[in-house]
Amino acid sequence: MYAMNCLKEFLTKMQATPHGATNLLDQALVYVTSDSAWGKTHTKTEWPVLLAGKAGGKLKGDGHFNFPNDNLSKVLFTVARLMGSTAADYGLDAGKVTAPLSIT
């Protein structure tokens, strides 16, 4: 609960900070996740992912995602692409991906 309250405070301050014609949160993308899908059993599938912000208009904004049976590296690869990366892949071994997610 403490971590979520801190996240709320951080995002609220970003949203209240003017940046160009909008605010800092609209111009940014904050990636939030956990080290396990369900803390009680520390499962390794269906990680929750929160993407806060609009990435400078590249996203609708503020989405909670869950990717059952998918490779979490795709989320990081997608974020890298949204931020301008031209890398053809991301990750190693079983975590290697070559295609971003369709979340825009």
pLDDT computed for residue 87 by the predictor: 95
Report yes or no: 100 and 72 within 8 Å, Cβ to Cβ: no
Asked if residue 23 lies in contact with residue 15, where contact means CB atoms within 8 angstroms, the answer is yes
Would the pLDDT of 53 be above 90? Answer: yes
State pTM to two decimals: 0.80
Burial 64-85 (b: 16+ CB within 10 A, else e): eeebeeebbbbbbbbbebbeee
- Contact between 89 and 99 under an 8 Å Cβ cutoff? The reply is no
> Is the per-residue pLDDT at 17 higher than 70?
yes
